[in-house]
Amino acid sequence: MISIPIAAGDSLDAMVDNIGARAFYHDADRHPEQYMTRPGVPFLIRNPEVGAPEIIADNLRRPRVVDRFPHPYIGADRLKNIRLPDHLFRAISEYDWQTIQYLGYVASDGRMNLIATEGTVASFDDPSFYLPGKLASDPVGNYFGRIIRLRYTDDDDWHIDRYDGYAKTQKQIPLVRIDCISPLIVTCVTEKNGYARFVTQFAHQTKG
């Protein structure tokens, strides 16, 4: 397991990029090779010769990665190079992390599950929105959490939820699947003019 090294001044945003949690973001700033210009067109268009990876579900709802090549003009996109995902990502509380180490497996605490039967939920991209302290109902205070990266395998019975697109499983995910864990992250929830506000950063970057 790798504890992600963070240099002084590094941001949570930079760390999310560095661990590959935005591999399926396809904006031109991140992936200029996926775009091209065309005479008479005043904006960038997708390059039909360069595939963009995306997550799909196979006929058993298992996650798969494919490269999508857009049609050069009008027509169906081409999907090529189907393969297994490398990783999933999950935001957890610090209490969750201590419990995972004690039990030896990852299981949901249900903190942000919509229904009790959802099981353990993970994402193929940035999970930081789900760090503790991000709920509108969370009272003022400091909330401690981490981001973990899980190696993907079909053995863990992950499936893509057809309604929200997240990966979910009813299995207990072994601790050894975690191959990356962030430093401690704190979300500081304050209130101003009746509205909750929060700032999320690494715990070692907070004052006091």
Q: Is 177 helix (H, G, I), strand (E, B) or coil?
A: helix
- Domains of the chain (ranges; CATH) run 2-20+86-205 (3.20.170), 32-83 (no CATH)
DSSP bridge partners of 159: 168
Q: CA–CA separation, 185 vs 147, rounded Å?
A: 8
Tens digits of residue pLDDT in 46-80: 999 999 999 999 999 999 999 999 988 777 899 99
pLDDT of residue 105: 93
Listing DSSP states for 134-164 in one string gives -STTPPSEEEEEEEEEEE--GGG--EE-TTT
208 pLDDT above the threshold of 50? no
How far CA 61 is from CA of 157, 160, 163, 172, in Å, comes to: 10, 5, 12, 19
When pLDDT is cut at 50, 70 and 90, the band that residue 201 belongs to is confident
Mean pLDDT of the chain: 86
Tens digits of residue pLDDT in 104-140: 999 765 555 555 567 899 999 999 989 998 877 788 8
